Amino acid sequence: MTLALNVEDLALNVEELSDYLSEVFPEVWEDFAIDALTRDTVNVRLLTDDRHLRPGGTVSGPSMFALADVAVYAMVLARVGRKALAVTTNCSIDFMRKPEANRDLIAQCRLLKLGRALAVGDVLLFSEGSDKPVAHATLTYSIPPRG
């Protein structure tokens, strides 16, 4: 189910955002889905399968990083519009517990700052159905000039 609340300041709604991400990242977007979008938050799902797992039967760190990165990118684009050249300039991620291999991962992203040149997002990652985070990430994005 897709929710969209408090969307008055959004440049892109859920459908427009999903379509754009599919257009600019067709090779990986099918791994993700947007579950909810508000003015300052987005929930993005990693549709996990065997290619996301590492030995030991857990979701790999690179897959978790990708989810956190996509969540912040989606949040930034939802606010500033079609800016494919927005790029990650910094990321810090803490892996806190082993995610469930047979469950999707959910990123809950909050936009902490949206300036003219930089955006900062905070992300908690959860195994679907659990209230205990498996990872926490903070990312900074550089935004190309608006116009």
**119 has which bridge partners?**
114, 141
pTM of the entire predicted model: 0.92
Among the listed residues 137, 70, 59, the one whose alpha carbon sits nearest the alpha carbon of residue 103? 59
pLDDT number for residue 146: 67
pLDDT, one tens digit per residue, over 8-32 is: 679 999 999 999 999 999 999 999 9
- pLDDT tens for 97-140 read 999 878 999 999 999 999 999 999 999 999 999 999 999 999 99
CA dist 24 and 46 (Å) reads: 18
Select from 3.40.50.880, 3.10.129.10, 3.40.50.80, 1.20.1630.10 the CATH code of 3-142: 3.10.129.10
6 pLDDT exceeds 60? no
